[in-house]
Structure 1
């Protein structure tokens, strides 16, 4: 399955030219017609996409074979989500897409997945909107497009504010949607499934007989997020919303539990324990252990 890490790679694959900005773009579907491929086999990419389809026929599959509603609809692509489509060249509407680099460059998006949970679900369930809700959402897309195509130095700051406005307007419509309960239910189920798989992965990765790639960083949430096919920020938001701790805290607590058990119940040296827990050196293990317990590994064993 093809996997596109940048917007440029994605655009090249679907038949569009390079975007003006490496981490953000906005287009109307009309300007893409006749250029973009009408059929795409399943693929993944690593950015967020918020689309407004006013008209257009054909099938779009998001996540677990979720198709777009018949009427005017808002739909999303999330990082690592499986997507495919078979469209007719008659779509009307707009879309914005932005990368994690775009989000991390601004404090405005620090709590993106907490504030706008409809973006984090791996199915990213689309929903239909009423005609009377269209003008306000359409106006925001047009404002973003207008700002994006000007030459002002501060345009990215304005685009960030308009994107936030778009997200809040979509959230307002989402909260009124007749499918809200169904979508929230799907979000909750997906979150619980991801948490369960994450917990299992963390535990099994540290089994003595586990087969681990030498380059793998078992101490990093990004390692587990890649296996789960979700963005590290998504994983962190899921773990924190359910357990109250970050994904990194969860991993560290598990390592600490294993270290304490080995120190109190085996005769293995601190050096042996350090390498069995995938620390790159005994000194790093010692620093980690002392930071979390207030004791060195040897002092803990004696105690």
Structure 2
């Protein structure tokens, strides 16, 4: 049975720190059957970094944004800082954890990494299935990354960047094959950029025209391209992102409806109630009661 937290905020867990108490921009950790028990992972939380978990062998179930995953062997699980995670129970784990921060991706030498499909994750994926050949390649790259990570020196950062670029590029190709099946066109790239801007600004910007201004194009052109590429109006994508975040907060926290409304940029709770009812068919209070009854 899922246990709902009594405290309203969703904690954000920072990445590891070095001996000088500085945040590590990149880490790689291997586990050979360790029973990782961290109580704070058993409550809903976000991580302040990108996490790639290469599962060699592990059993159990975890949740990402209200969707459950039964863990599979020889599989990659990946999450971004905005997603909400929770594990159901600690289980022995064989595999590798790889993390890097937003600050790591903003470095000039990592600019190309920010544009990779695995990092952009336009399909909000989490589980990437790997063939035997894929797993062999991944294990080889992880071994090289681990060796360099444990070898400080003048060339360490460049070598880590080179191996990480190769690994993430390879995984991004698999991502496109599993989730899209092709290379993006110019209009598809515009859709991806639009969705990325929504992810950055959905709390502050609720109108298509505001995003068109950010992208330096007309609202009409943006609406036309988004509708053609996604089959849905441009405004619908904004509304869906607001609804997703509202559902997260209604499910995972005890924030009042007024607090959630203000967090999502609504001037009045009544506006939020009408918006949520229009988009989902239920009021926020009705949704919270129904979803919690389901998981009691």
Q: Is the 1:64–1:123 contact (alpha carbons within 8 Å) kept by the matching residues of 2?
A: no
Residue matched to 1:262: none
Matching of residues 62-77 of structure 1 within 5 Å = 62-68=64-70, 70-77=72-79
| 1:7 aligns to 2:15 (yes or no) | yes
Partner of 1:24: 26
1:108 to 1:34, Cα distance in 2 relative to 1, 3 A: same
CA distance 1:20–1:68, shift in 2 (3 Å): farther
- Structure 2 contact 11–46 (Cα < 8 Å) conserved: yes
Conservation of the 8 A alpha-carbon contact between 1:49 and 1:76: yes
What's the CA shift string for 1:228-257, capped at 9, x where partnerless? xxxxxxxxxxx9x969xxxxxxxxxxxxxx
Shift of 1:46: 1.9
Query: What RMSD in Å do the two structures reach over aligned CA positions?
Result: 4.5
CA contact (8 A) 1:27 1:94 kept: yes
How far the C-alpha of 1:2 sits from its partner, in A, is 3.8
- 1:207-222 map, 5 Å: none
Q: Structure 2 CA distance, aligned partners of 1:40 and 1:130? A: 30
Q: Report the Cα distance in structure 2 between the residues aligned to 1:19 and 1:45, rounded to whole angstroms.
A: 18
Q: Among residues 3, 18, 43, which one is paired with 1:41 in the alignment?
A: 43
Unmatched tracts of structure 2, length 5 or more: 1-8, 208-213, 215-222, 228-296
Instruction: Report the Cα distance in structure 2 between the residues aligned to 1:126 and 1:60, rounded to whole angstroms.
Output: 12
SS in 2 for 1:67: strand
Matches within 5 A, 1:260-299: none
- Which whole-Å deviations, capped at 9, do the CAs of 1:57-115 have from their partners, x for residues lacking one? 1112123414255342111110121111124432111121011222223x232143432
Mapped contact 2:58–2:94 kept (Cα < 8 A): yes
CA distance in 1, matches of 2:193, 2:172: 19
How many residue pairs align between the two structures? 203
- Which structure 2 residues correspond to residues 126-205 of structure 1 after superposition, within 5 A? 126-177=127-178, 179-180=179-180, 192=195, 195=198, 198=201, 201-202=204-205
Tell me how far apart the structure 1 counterparts of residues 199 and 92 of structure 2 sit (CA, whole Å): 42
With structure 2 as the length reference, what TM-score do the two structures score? 0.54
Listed as ranges, the gaps of 5+ residues in structure 1 are: 12-16, 205-220, 222-238, 244-303
- 2:106 is the counterpart of 1:104: yes
